[in-house]
Homo-oligomer: A and B are copies of this chain.
Amino acid sequence: MKISKPKQGINIGNIERPLTTVDVVIFTVLEEGLHVLLVSRPDTPDEPFKKMWALPGGFIDIQEDIDLESCALRKLRQKTGVQSPYLEQVGSWGGLERDPRGWSATHVYFAMIPAPQKPPHGAQNTEIAWFPITEHGVKMKLAFDHTKLLEAAIQRLRNKVEYTSLPAYLLQEEFTLSDLQHMYEIVLERHIEKSAFRTRVFAADLVEPVDKVRAGPNRPAQLYRLIHPKEIVYFPRTFSPRKINE
């Protein structure tokens, strides 16, 4: 199947092309902790990494996907039913070694969704489940180079949470400031000062109050929603002045 190297740009159909995939790192918060959605690799012959856990993803469908992002959205919709999550590209990884079937390149996206009500559902013959994130990944080794891809996505997430409104996408449309602070604390795995947090959030014009409160066995909390739900907000400084990693 190998073809002698053609002159670049001439006879384009004969250049040997890498395999091209999209993988999606889907985050949510369940039971007080950050989780990621994984699918088990099929057990069929010819498939590499049989029965190992992997990021949801797969080959680009040239007929169906108009671009990379819509491919990522399609995969996310298929696995979770979520229509419009927060979605951002992490980057791409490609090389000879990462897939035994040949030179391959994958485009990695990460998504954040509110805690789902229904369990995820995979295709037939595949399992699908949420796994808690411990430190830099999940407890088991993943298929392909997905351990590395997941680690990169976690790092991007943690880093960006320091200076953006990203954790709002882990909540339903209406939330209290305590809810929001709680999401920051879960992702960053550290305590955040209530007073400074509220000052920051208000100064950034991130939220507006809705005409409702959340009752409980204590003082009711004001409910808020995002002022501009489509745009993420950048804070002028990071939460705690410490070294940024990436």
Contact = CB atoms under 8 A, between A and B. Distances in A.
- Copies of this chain present in the complex amount to 2
A58 interface: yes
Contacts of A13: 1
Contact of A237 (B102, B103, B241): B241
Interface stretch (A89-97, A167-175, A218-226): A89-97
A18 B92 contact: no
A102 B10 CA distance: 14
Interface string A54-65: 000011111100
Contacts of A124: none
Interface stretch (A39-47, A114-122, A129-137, A191-199): A39-47
Contact of A91 (B19, B61, B91, B243): B91
Interface string A1-41: 10001001111110111111000000000000000000000
Given A18-B20, A18-B62, A60-B18, A236 B236 contact: no
A188 to B, nearest CB: 16
A93 B68 contact: yes
Nearest to A236: B241
A15 B59 contact: yes
A105 interface: yes
A77 interface: no
A227 to B, nearest CB: 15
* In the A-B complex, the 8 residue pairs with the closest CB atoms: A67-B95, A92-B92, A17-B17, A68-B94, A234-B244, A236-B241, A62-B103, A18-B20
Interface of A: 1, 5, 8-13, 15-20, 42, 44, 46-47, 58-63, 66-68, 89, 91-97, 101-103, 105, 107, 163, 234, 236-238, 241-246
28 contacts: A1-B13, A5-B61, A5-B63, A9-B44, A9-B46, A9-B58, A10-B46, A12-B101, A18-B20, A20-B20, A20-B94, A60-B94, A66-B96, A66-B97, A67-B93, A67-B94, A67-B95, A68-B93, A89-B91, A91-B91, A91-B92, A105-B105, A234-B244, A234-B245, A234-B246, A236-B238, A236-B241, A236-B244
